[in-house]
Structure formats: C-alpha cells, structure tokens
Amino acid sequence: MLYILLFILFILLFIFGMTIIRIGLFNLSGNKLKGWLTKLTSTPLKGMVTGTFVTALLQSSSAVMVITIGLISAKIMTFPQSIGIILGTNIGTTFKTELITFNLDKFLVPLAIIGALFTFFKPIKIRSIGMVTFGIASVFTAMKGFELLAEPLTALPFINNYILSINDNILLSIITGAVITAIIQSSTAMTGITMGFLTAGLLHLDAGIAIVFGANIGTCITALIASIGGGKESRLAAFAHVWLNVAGVLIFTPFIPFLSENAHLLADERMIQLAHISVLFNVVSSIMVLPFATRFGEMILRVHGGKTNKN
C-alpha cells in the first residue's frame, strides 16, 4: 500500500512539475504564442511548424489544443486553420519525451533550491524562470521515483500479473496507455512511468511502445473536454485531434515488433529507444497527413459536421 501511495505521489509531482514549467514558459512568452497561432496558420505547413514550435515551448500538446479551441470558440481562428496546428502538436510534444531521458540526478537539489528562491522575486521574468527550474527538478525527481518504485511495485501480485499480461498483449498495452493517460491527463507522465518499468527490466519494449501509442489516444480527452460548449468548429478541431491519433496508432501498431527488434539501432538504453520511437511515430504520422490536410479537414466535416450543426 505504501509503494502505491508513493507512486501516486510521484505521478502528482510529475504533473505538478510539467504544469509549473508550462505556466513559467507561458509567462515568459506572454500573448505572443496566441498571436503566432492566429497569424502563422495560413497553410497547413505553416500551421504544423507553428504548432510544433509552440507545443515544444509550452511542453504540452494538451495546452496548445486548449488554446487553439479557445481561439476557435472566440471566432479568432477557423477550424481549417487548426489542422496544421493539430499536426504540429503531436510533433512538438515529443521534445519533452526526449527531455526526460537526460540524467540530471546530480543537479536536482541545486535546481530545486534555485528555482524555489527565484519564485520569491517580484520581477515576473525571474519568477517565471524559477518556476521552470523548479518544475524541471520536480519532473526529474518524479522520474527517479518511477524508476526506484518499479521493482517494489511489481512484487505486488496484482501488478505483477497485470504487467505480465500486457507484456504479451499489444492491444491491452495500447488500451492501458490510453485509459491511464485519460485519467491522469498527461501522456508524458504515462511515458515516464513506462520508462521506469523499462529501465527496471520489468516491461518488454514492444509493450512499452504500445503503451506510448495508447497514450497518444488518451491525451485527446483534454481537447474533447475543452471543446464542450465551444461551438461547432471547436468540436471539429477536437474530433480531428482524435482521428489523427487513432489513425496513427492503427497504422503503426502492426510495425511494433519491427520497431522493437530494431530499436538498438537508435540507442543503447531502453528508455532512450522508447523516446526516439515516440518521435518517429509522431513525426511520420503528421508528415503522412500533411499533403492531405485539406481533405482530412473535409472528411472531419463530412463525418461530424451534421452532428455539430444540431447545437
């Protein structure tokens, strides 16, 4: 029971860290991000580049989707303009996945102390830098916690049995990633947990890949919630986000064994292999859709346009 409580605590610490990093970065960039999202979306390619950059800056695809849906609801942006941004958010979110693979163990305490001290300064820029620094320390501390608790947790019979079952079941791994991500509202946290079990040698790489794929579906729940009451076009953007991620997972799932077998070509460590595969998945998925972005938007309109017109 103690290990489960500690694990939940580390999940909360991870999400807290990601949240204050996002707030700090947003404070530093001000309203420029909204301006970029509004102005630099005249073509799907521009939208994708802008979405990638803004998501990498904010360290949250969900946050960018919520901002985008808000702009659509306010009639500042149209649904067609959002297609490129949606493609970009999936690429931009991989930056944080790569970030958490770095080993910052020696710097965690100094980062936390410096970050905490900076948050007491009056100037917004210094305070925001402190939030980002303290957030990074929190995220990496949580990652270390996931790694240390992975083995003790699997000593619990029901967790051990479940991990054994998903190790041999790709579909169940995908569902696990999607459901847990939808609950904790963070695909990065889900990826971090998966990396912890991989590093401990308790989870097979193919199951880890499937969980990360599922996390891409689970993260869509935030956009769907944000679109409630936002009008027709905001709901279309949320549906487009779901379709893109579900389609990407369906296309890539048959290649999971191939990716697992050849992961050693990307890196030596399992957690880094997983991060690189996540990048490949999101980049290739978005680039595949980019040439058909306009038709993709038209398909969303055909499938969901009638339903949204009722409101």
pLDDT of residue 31: 63
Residue 306 pLDDT class (50, 70, 90 cuts): low
Q: Is the whole-model pTM more than 0.95?
A: no
Q: Is the C-alpha dihedral spanning 7, 215, 273, 169 positive or negative?
A: positive
Which pairs with CB-CB distance under 8 Å and at least 24 residues apart come from 180-186?
Answer: 180/215, 180/218, 181/214, 181/215, 181/217, 181/218, 181/219, 181/221, 182/218, 182/219, 182/221, 184/11, 184/15, 185/15, 185/62, 185/219, 185/221, 185/222, 186/14, 186/15, 186/18, 186/62, 186/219
pLDDT of residue 276: 94
pLDDT of residue 126: 93
Q: Is the C-alpha dihedral spanning 109, 110, 116, 119 positive or negative?
A: negative
% pLDDT > 70, the chain: 96
Q: What's the chain's Rg over C-alpha atoms?
A: 19
Q: What is the pLDDT of residues 135-184, one digit of tens each?
A: 889 988 988 888 788 778 777 888 888 888 899 899 999 999 999 988 88
Say if residue 34's pLDDT is above 90: no
Residue 308 pLDDT class (50, 70, 90 cuts): very low
Residue 30 pLDDT class (50, 70, 90 cuts): low
Least confident of 181-195, 209-223, 252-266: 181-195
Residue 201 pLDDT class (50, 70, 90 cuts): confident
Residue 222 pLDDT class (50, 70, 90 cuts): confident
In the predicted model, what is the mean pLDDT of residues 257-262? 94
Residue 117 sits at the vertex; the CA angle it makes with 60 and 114, to the nearest 5 degrees, is: 70
CA distance 304 to 308: 6
Say if residue 2's pLDDT is above 70: yes
Residue 307 pLDDT class (50, 70, 90 cuts): very low
CA distances for 210 relative to 169, 194, 206, 284, angstroms: 9, 10, 6, 16
